A and B are shown apart, each in its own frame.
Chain A
């Protein structure tokens, strides 16, 4: 159960003069929830983009346990990432705005299609069968995330919190082994964040999916994560259990802050 699913070694990427990610190494074990924390601009989403092959690293490797054994993720083109079992959500919601929620989820089933162009054109019985099967799988995800009410609504008219959930649902429809969640609780209120915590635990325990996420909400991080990686300015600050990282002095200095800091602001009573 605890074999390594993804392993990044000395990952670096440079954009012009900016070294966005600098020799970052970590590995994600099968079945765990691994969280990246850090201030804005630390390079967390860039690491995600490197894993989903939107960017190519300038140095370093990413090894991934694919269906046929370990492979170099950096050799794969972006459209293969989903069929390897890696799905992701986006920080600023990249849903298909002019389609319904169900449509979005069905697009998530793309890697599981088994018909070619001609079978689609003539809508053979095989196409019909695959369609019905896709619909069943999408409905399972809808039931997990309580999206029944929004099934046929156009995404463009949905509130932000619901869109975040739809984005996660769409990622789940690809039946991934590794799920990348980029700030799943940003923009959600307390109740929705609690729901999100339960869903992430369900995804880990019931579906057996490994979760790699970027998060700022420390309560969610402590509740859900197995291990945490703190980044700052493209480099690794600390890695370990949530407790270890949250008490690490470097992390406290760069990101979390401590209660003592406020004392300097306290005014003397008149």
Chain B
């Protein structure tokens, strides 16, 4: 068991709370940097996708997990970012500028989508964001002069002021840098007044307001930041696939993002990464185990949807804190061995109260 002896307020502000944290996260960072030499190209590509989805997941986690705003159309921001970046890159803009524009435009769209959030709550907000998602997808498909419509567009390689990134390894490092930057940004936000304001809005809007938190400002800020992150993820996604079309940013993609954060663990930064790992590795696991299953199950087209659904149901029923929650339990068990008691993380049986009066 680890006891942290605190002598300074700064210790509570630090990101790495003790030596163990510092050690393991540095080790992880080293492993990620060494990945191109450790993994085959295919697995490196999958790792790149994990990083890209993590960035989008961080955004959605900020919005849904930390601010409590339910967004069911998040793929729209992904799409806006992807298309903006693709169009600008094809026009010749260098990568950093195009990326900034993609993030900016996504943030602007996020601001617009966030406007209903100021008046409606809960499921109504979910439906509003869902509607926006459909409308954006339709706009992307119809605005053929800019987006090429349903035929989609191809994207050139990222060009950072002359240095063209053409290999998988170089792109992996680019994604790694951006992911680390995004994570640090989110962690910084969470330990500062802005992040605390988000959490306050999630837990009790009325008392947040009486503490001086401007609800409208912080809600729209949350939407804008979350959309900007999704936009960055979309831009990287466009480069990775080198081809985008509107149907990649439909309702199923939105639900995939939500699935990711629920399975990862809502309300934790780790959850975004664990969820992304799950989302990318699940199809691989399914295709690997297809050969071991009887043909009726293994070769059926609906298998992936079935597995996703079952896993989602299982997590909501048995592990509502997600993968990160399960990891916390395991870690507590190991730390407190042999004093771990079975009921430590037991959920209280709660009675359902009317959401309309919240």
Contact = CB atoms under 8 A, between A and B. Distances in A.
A and B directly contacting (CB within 8 A): yes
Interface of A: 52, 54, 78-83, 87-88, 90, 94-99, 103, 106-111, 113, 115, 117, 120-123, 127-128, 130-132, 134-136, 139, 170, 174
A96 B203 contact: yes
Given A117-B221, A131-B191, A110 B212 contact: yes
6 contacts: A80-B212, A96-B204, A96-B208, A109-B193, A110-B213, A130-B193
Nearest to B185: A121
A110 B197 contact: yes
A170 B9 contact: no
A79 B213 contact: yes
Nearest to A111: B212
Given A103-B196, A110-B196, A135-B12, A98 B203 contact: yes
B210 A81 contact: yes
B204 A78 contact: no
B194 A117 contact: yes
A107 B196 contact: yes
A90 B207 contact: yes
A52 B221 CA distance: 24
Contacts of B206: 54, 90, 94
Chain A binding surface, main DSSP class: helix
A103 B199 contact: yes
Nearest to A124: B188
Contacts of B211: 82, 87, 107-108, 110-111, 170, 174
Listed from nearest, the 6 A-B pairs whose CB atoms lie closest are A82-B212, A120-B192, A94-B207, A96-B203, A111-B212, A123-B188
A132 B212 contact: no
A139 B10 CA distance: 13
B339 to A, nearest CB: 19
Contact of A121 (B188, B200, B208, B213): B188
Nearest to A157: B348
Contacts of B26: none
Contacts of A106: 193, 196
Interface in B1-40: 9-10, 12-13
Given A97-B203, A98-B267, A174-B211, A107 B189 contact: no
B196 A120 contact: no
Contacts of A109: 193
A94 B9 contact: no
B209 interface: yes
Nearest to B212: A82
A122 to B, nearest CB: 7
B199 A99 contact: yes
Contacts of A83: 212
Given A98-B267, A128-B13, A132-B10, A107 B197 contact: yes
B142 interface: no
Candidate in A79, A80, A174 with the most chain B CB atoms within 10 angstroms: A79
B171 to A, nearest CB: 25
